[in-house]
């Protein structure tokens, strides 16, 4: 059984620490939206729904306004009759119809916000086409809202084992010490804030299911895993974490497998719910291609090669390396060694998941993931990294060690905030970064030099 959680103190007798952090992030997020779209920053000069975000979002106007999943009605009305971007919609054989390479999960999550945007469009008398300002604002708000929900879910999980101060520092570091906040605001329509929320939900339900393997918990967990996969197929790797909860050493693997085999009824329920959640995606594939199982990515747009991962570039390079751009995660990775003292039954799941996930992320042929801030695919894994960071902060209790750890956390977080601001202002090359450009970014951000052109 899982140990009883801690009872967090209240802030000023009202908000819990987790709620206070979420509220602070929400306020900063709203202010950031006003700044980003009010000042027309270089890379964010367009509307919120842009680039990859178009591919994730376009299902909504196509299905709910135009009732045409081939998307030609939407393309004719909103994109002048030309597909919005080559990497978003491409013709497939044998039907010749346009296939969206992005999954429908994000559109499903945005749908309630889309409805609000539609009501506002009616009330404001503006165009009801899915892309006028009410829809743009609603979609951007969805990205921030789901990130905040993910923070709340992660915070409630961490609060079971760690002190309130540890939880607060961890949540702030994960938000601002990585590229997460940028993808909750500046690029809010990309998939990463939505994946962050889905993975945080999976962790919360996975722990609850291991504690009480009831039908409701199993069904909820299966649905959450299905949703995470609908957003990004590689999120399915989180099953590694779920399957290993409670395993503390190799000799625990067989008993764990036997325990699962002994509850085939729950396994069957979980598998059924999981497939049920995936049905809309399969239905879309069949409608467009005539096949249920489809790889929507063409080889020239990137492919998965698990035998040739680019681990060094993905993890350490100046161009996009995870630990170079988000050094606070070095502390999180180190902290996994101390997780054994606080939450021992999650050590093996966390380490194994992070290793497998890093391998999968590194195996994408376009390993730098195009124009972006930092190594964005790892935002999905931040809830698991948070366990290691919280464990390190919690166990650093000696007089000199704890201030040193907190100082490093603060310094690396401030460095990440600087890089984020430099990126927003166009002082960082969003695709082909090198050390010289990295150093020049300090001068460009603070002394008003011209932005680097990629």
pLDDT in tens, 387-419: 999 999 999 876 678 889 999 999 999 999 999
| pLDDT over threshold 70, residue 11 | no
Q: Within the chain, how many helices (H) and strands (E) appear?
A: 21, 2
pTM: 0.92
Looking at residue 5, what is its pLDDT?
47
Characterise 10 by phi-psi region: left (phi > 0), alpha (psi -120 to 50), beta (else).
Answer: beta
Q: Taking residues 229-253, report their average pLDDT.
A: 90
Q: What are phi and psi of 345, to 5 degrees?
A: -75, -5
| pLDDT over threshold 80, residue 167 | yes
pLDDT, tens digit, 9 for 90 and up, residues 319-372 = 999 999 999 999 999 999 999 999 999 999 999 999 999 999 999 998 998 888
For the chain, the average pLDDT equals: 89
Domain spans of the chain, in order of start: 17-447
Looking at residue 299, what is its pLDDT?
64
Residue 255 CB coordination number (10 Å): 11
List the end-to-end C-alpha distance of the chain, in Å, as a whole number: 53
Helix (H) or strand (E) holding 324: helix 322-325
Rounded-to-10 torsion of CA 81, 87, 91, 94: -160
Q: Taking residues 178-198, report their average pLDDT.
A: 96
**Using CA atoms, how far apart are residues 33 and 338, in angstroms rounded to an integer?**
38
Compare 92 and 175 and report the one with higher pLDDT. Answer: 175
pLDDT, tens digit, 9 for 90 and up, residues 61-93 = 999 999 999 999 999 999 888 887 655 788 887
Looking at residue 87, what is its pLDDT?
58
Report residue 231 as tokens. Answer: 């957003």
Looking at residue 86, what is its pLDDT?
55
Q: Taking residues 274-284, report their average pLDDT.
A: 96
Per DSSP, 279 falls in state H
Is 93 within 8 Å of 86 (Cβ atoms)? no
pLDDT, tens digit, 9 for 90 and up, residues 20-67 = 999 999 999 999 999 988 876 655 457 899 888 999 999 999 999 999
Looking at residue 2, what is its pLDDT?
44
**Using CA atoms, how far apart are residues 291 and 93, in angstroms rounded to an integer?**
10
Q: Under 8 Å CB-to-CB from 372, ≥6 apart: which residues?
A: 187, 320, 430, 431
Looking at residue 262, what is its pLDDT?
75
Q: Taking residues 116-137, report their average pLDDT.
A: 95
Helix %, strand %, coil % for the chain, to 5? Answer: 65, 0, 35
**Using CA atoms, how far apart are residues 153 and 19, in angstroms rounded to an integer?**
10
| pLDDT over threshold 80, residue 438 | yes
């Amino acid at each position: 059984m899982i140990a009883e959680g801690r009872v967090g103190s209240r802030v000023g007798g009202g908000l819990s620490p987790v709620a206070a952090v979420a509220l602070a992030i929400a306020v900063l997020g709203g202010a950031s939206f006003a700044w980003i779209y009010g000042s027309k920053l270089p890379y964010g000069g367009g509307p919120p729904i842009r680039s990859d975000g178009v591919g994730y979002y376009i299902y909504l106007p196509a299905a709910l306004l135009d009732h045409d999943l081939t998307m030609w009605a939407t393309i004719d009305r909103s994109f002048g009759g030309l597909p919005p971007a080559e990497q978003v919609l491409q013709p497939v054989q044998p039907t010749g119809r346009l296939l969206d390479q992005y999954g429908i999960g994000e559109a499903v999550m945005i749908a309630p916000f889309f409805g609000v945007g539609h009501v506002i469009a009616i009330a404001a008398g503006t165009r009801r086409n899915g892309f006028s300002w009410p829809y743009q604002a609603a979609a951007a708000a969805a990205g921030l809202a789901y990130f905040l929900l993910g923070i709340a879910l992660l915070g409630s999980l961490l609060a079971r084992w760690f002190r309130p101060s540890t939880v607060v520092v961890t949540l702030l570091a994960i938000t601002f010490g990585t590229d997460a906040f940028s993808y909750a605001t500046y690029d809010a329509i990309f998939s990463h804030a939505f994946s962050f929320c889905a993975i945080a939900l999976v962790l919360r339900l996975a722990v609850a299911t291991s504690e009480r393997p009831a039908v409701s918990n199993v069904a909820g967990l299966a649905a959450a895993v299905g949703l995470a996969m609908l957003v990004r197929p590689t999120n399915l790797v989180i099953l590694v974490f779920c399957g290993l909860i409670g395993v503390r050493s190799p000799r625990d693997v067989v008993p764990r497998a036997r325990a699962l085999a002994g509850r085939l009824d729950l396994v069957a329920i979980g598998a059924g719910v999981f497939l049920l959640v995936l049905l809309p995606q399969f239905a879309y594939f069949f409608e467009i291609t005539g096949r249920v199982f489809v790889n929507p990515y063409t080889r020239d747009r990137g492919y998965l090669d698990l035998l040739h991962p680019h681990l060094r570039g993905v993890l350490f390079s100046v161009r996009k390396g995870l630990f170079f751009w988000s050094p606070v995660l070095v502390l999180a990775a180190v902290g996994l060694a101390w997780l054994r003292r606080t939450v021992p039954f999650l050590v093996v799941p966390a380490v194994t998941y992070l290793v497998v996930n890093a391998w999968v992320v590194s195996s994408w042929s376009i390993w730098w993931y195009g124009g972006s801030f930092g190594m964005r695919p790892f935002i999905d894994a931040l809830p698991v990294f948070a366990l290691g960071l919280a464990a390190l902060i919690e166990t650093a209790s000696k007089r000199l060690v704890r201030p040193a750890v907190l100082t490093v956390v603060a310094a690396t977080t401030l460095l990440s905030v600087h890089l984020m601001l430099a990126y927003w202002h166009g002082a960082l090359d969003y695709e082909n970064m090198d050390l010289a450009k990295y150093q020049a970014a300090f001068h460009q951000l603070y002394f008003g030099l011209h932005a680097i052109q990629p």
